Each structure stands twice: as structure tokens, then as C-alpha cells.
Amino acid sequence: AIKITDNVKKIFYTKAQPFSLGPWYTITNFAEYIEYPVPVDNYAIPIVFEDVPADQGHYSYKRFGGDDKIVVPNALENIFTYTIMLPEKRFKYAHSVPMDPCSCIAYPLFSEAEARIQQFIAGLGYNSMGGGVEAWGPGSAFGNLSGLGEQSRVSSIIEPRYGSNTKGSLRMLTDLPLAPTKPIDAGIREFCKTCGICAEHCPTQAISHEGPRYDSPHWDCVSGYEGWHLDYHKCINCTI
């Protein structure tokens, strides 16, 4: 877990388009299936931190009577990260059709895990805001700061115990008291600097052959942190 300090707020997205990132659950109706037209417009709105009650996090658009912003209560002072373990057979199916379901099985699990965590936190009497796999800011940045793993050449986090056989550095905001955790140094980042085998064997050449950099050469992978940036436009053609 990470305390949301002024420095940590710098790695939050300035703006976001709620449902392009994932289902933005309300605090009181967490994980609710919405069966009516959702008031979401087609442009990004600012993420702002405000002194509102912990259960009043929300998003709204002016066209629907709102205020064009995603409001995060300052009372949600922690952000924690977690990931999804993938089937061990995933790597045995590399460069083959079964690789796709072995990798993509994580996506429905993102929503399921998020909903269960939010229900658990609510059961303890606390509040939370999720938002899906791409919410709040770059997953690798939050994953690094929390000690979930180290950012790797494949752009995502590599976890010391399970390697790259995980998907997502998901993050959730909460007022649940949590002990802060620190970044780790398992030698993964340094190893990635000189290895490069993943980039050589990447079928779509989505993985960078260069060293870490602050500016992303790809429009669909954010800048602002020193690391490797994946070409997601190529990556979606192969789920390795």
C-alpha cells in the first residue's frame, strides 16, 4: 500500500474518461450491474482530490447535470495494488492459439476480484474506489512504489515469485488503515537492461529493444516515468 501524498498524486492521470478505463463503481453501490443508459460522454474529465466525505467519490458530466470531474475524497488516503495469477500452462502455449485464452482469462477476473475486494472493505466499514485495470495512473508506476514487483522490459510488472506470469498492476483507493510497503530491489530491472530475450522473440515486436526512457515513443503508452514503454497497438495482435 502507498500513502497518497502530494508526490504520489503526481503519477495520477490528470484526466480520465471513466468507462473507457473500466466500470467506476459508486461507493455505496459497489460492483452494481448497470442496466440503464449510463451518463458517460466521449471526452476525458479531470481527476480532482477534494475534502468530501469518504463515501462521496463520484464522476459526473455537465451534459448530464454534473460538474465534469472525477472526485476523489482526500479521506481515501491509501492506494494499494494487486495482480492476477495466470495459468502455468500459458508459456507452454507460446506462439499458439491456446495462448490467447490463457492470457485473456485475467480480464474477467479483474472485475470479479475488484468487486470482491470492495465488498470485503465495505464489510469492514470502510470505503474504496476501484476503476479497472487502467484506472488512476500507470500500473507499473504504482506497482513499483508499492513493492508489488519491478517494472520490466515488457513494460508491465515482473513479480519476484511468479515472474511475468501475472497480469495487471491493479490499484484501489481506500480509507482502510494499511501499513505502507516499500519498493523492492530483486534485480529484475537491472537484469532486463542487459537481457532483451523477450524483445527478440516478441512475435509482433511490441517490446522495446532500447533502454529505459522517460518519454514514451507510443501514443498509447503514457510518458512520465523512467522505464520501458510497450507498443500496445502491436501487442493487441498477440497476447503474449
pLDDT digits (tens, 9 = 90+) for 70-127: 899 999 999 999 999 888 777 777 666 666 677 778 888 888 898 899 999 999 999 9
- What pairs with residue 30 in β-bridges? none
Q: Are 106 and 133 in contact (CB under 8 A)?
A: no
Residues 98, 153, 107, 163: is their CA dihedral positive or negative?
Answer: positive
Examine residue 92 and state whether it is found in any structural domain, yes or no: yes
* Residue 22 pLDDT: 44
Q: At residue 150, what are phi and psi to the nearest 5 degrees?
A: -120, 140
Of the candidates 128, 146, 218, 211, the one whose C-alpha atom is nearest the C-alpha of residue 182 is: 146
Mean pLDDT of 157-161: 92
Domain assignment present for 19: yes
pLDDT at 24: 42
State the amino acid at position 159 in one-letter form: E
- CA 136-137-139 angle, to 5 degrees, is 115
As for how many domains the chain has, the answer is 1
Band (pLDDT 50/70/90 cuts) for residue 153 is very high
CB 240 within 8 A of CB 103: yes
Pairing outcome for strands 128-129 and 150-151: unpaired
Q: What is the mean pLDDT of the chain?
A: 84
Looking at residue 134, its pLDDT comes to 78
Q: How far apart are CA 40 and CA 60, in angstroms?
A: 8
**For 191, phi and psi rounded to 5 degrees?**
-65, -40
Tell me what pLDDT residue 239 has: 58
Residues of the domain holding 222: 2-235
| Alpha carbon 133 to chain centroid, angstroms | 4
Query: 82 lies in a domain?
Result: yes
Q: Mind listing the pLDDT tens digit for each residue in 43-67?
A: 888 999 999 999 988 887 787 777 8
User: Would you state the pLDDT for residue 92?
Assistant: 73
- 25 domain residue, yes or no: yes
The residue assigned the cell 470531474 is: 69
- Considering the domain boundaries, does residue 43 fall inside one? yes
